[in-house]
């Protein structure tokens, strides 16, 4: 494995090391896509916090975002990431 892939992998692990972001990924795994309002209401957090954390996940290439009208919808970019998360949780 080349060093660029290792660095990228470390950045993904770093982004997922936050419990709230981990919960967001698990939540998005249950749906094809969700908007910010749906996410912050399900997780019982403030909209600004949800938007900030979703931005971090998007910038690390974990999430895909799509603007439709006034709403931004988020989805997992790579569904297999949930398999890796589930394996780690089971340890």
Q: What is the pLDDT of residues 53-78, one digit of tens each?
A: 999 999 999 999 999 999 999 999 99
* CB 18 within 8 Å of CB 53: yes
* CB 20 within 8 Å of CB 54: no
Q: Is the pLDDT of residue 79 over 90?
A: no
pLDDT category, 84, cuts 50, 70, 90?
Answer: confident
The whole domain housing 24 covers 3-89
User: CA 57: distance to chain centroid?
Assistant: 5
Q: What is the pLDDT of residues 13-54, one digit of tens each?
A: 999 999 999 999 999 999 999 999 999 999 999 999 999 999
pLDDT category, 1, cuts 50, 70, 90?
Answer: low
CATH number (domain holding residue 67): 1.10.10.10
Question: What is the count of structural domains for the chain?
Answer: 1
pLDDT at residue 42, rounded to an integer: 97
């Amino acid at each position: 494995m080349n060093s660029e892939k290792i660095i990228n992998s470390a950045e993904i692990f770093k982004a997922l090391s936050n419990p709230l972001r981990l919960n967001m990924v698990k939540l998005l795994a249950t749906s094809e896509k969700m908007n910010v309002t749906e996410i912050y209401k399900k997780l019982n957090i403030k909209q600004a916090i949800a938007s900030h954390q979703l931005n971090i996940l998007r910038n690390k290439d974990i999430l895909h975002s799509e603007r439709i009208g006034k709403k931004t919808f988020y989805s997992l970019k790579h569904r297999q990431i949930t398999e890796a998360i589930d394996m780690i949780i089971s340890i």
